[in-house]
Amino acid sequence: MQEKRLNEAESLELITAMIHNARTNLRARINCTILLVWGYTITFISLLLYIVKKYELSSYSSLLWFLIPLICYPTTKFLYSRDTTHIKSYLDKIIDYISLLFIIICSVMGLTVIWIYFPILFIEGILFNIWILIIGILIKYKVIIWGGIIGIILSYSLLFVSGEIHQILIFGLISVFSIIIPGHFLKNSISKNVQRA
């Protein structure tokens, strides 16, 4: 193999590209971890709520849904703080704003259902899968896009399942197919890209 001598411009360009790749890989790992935190938290809270409702352990069990944003949003902020570059691209800012918007909408809807009945799990399922779909489109990763699409389709099954307890279980299962599995695919693809570099 022959070594090529680089002039100053080529050397600077190479260093800039290496810094950009390192920052991109770090940010991709952080975003992947955030996605998995949301997926596992939704699934865990769904299972917990299923058990609490099935065995009638508390009459205020529906308030457990609010653990999702209370756990995930601070965790998201903490993971973003681990990004040592502290430089946010336009795409990062867009994803942050979209995520915050969906958190607020889903939380307000969760409060609204206390006074007005509507198929909350169906609507929340559609919303969080639209969020996943948008993120997949923004980061241009097909598995995340397909996860969002599959989640939207599976959310419609909640309209045909009778009994809130069974809907809760299916809601948790939807996040496995729409967030957790695509999140692990993304994590594996990041690991492969890092090994190639």
Residue 161 lies in domain: 8-196
**How many separate domains does the chain show?**
1
Specify the pLDDT at position 132.
94
User: Rounded distance, CA 90 to CA 194, Å?
Assistant: 23
Confidence check: pLDDT of 177 > 90:
yes
pTM of the model: 0.83
Q: What is the mean pLDDT of the chain?
A: 85
User: Rounded distance, CA 17 to CA 25, Å?
Assistant: 12
User: Is 1 a domain residue?
Assistant: no
User: Rounded distance, CA 183 to CA 4, Å?
Assistant: 39
User: Is 2 a domain residue?
Assistant: no
Confidence check: pLDDT of 114 > 60:
yes
Specify the pLDDT at position 4.
65
What share of the chain in percent tops pLDDT 70?
83
The predicted-structure confidence for 41-89, as pLDDT tens digits, reads as follows 999 999 999 999 999 998 888 889 999 999 999 998 898 888 776 667 7
- DSSP secondary-structure letter at 163? S
The predicted-structure confidence for 12-30, as pLDDT tens digits, reads as follows 665 555 545 544 566 778 8
User: Is 131 a domain residue?
Assistant: yes
Q: Yes or no: say if 167 and 158 are a contact pair by the CB < 8 Å rule.
A: yes
Specify the pLDDT at position 95.
85
CB atoms within 10 A of CB 51: 13
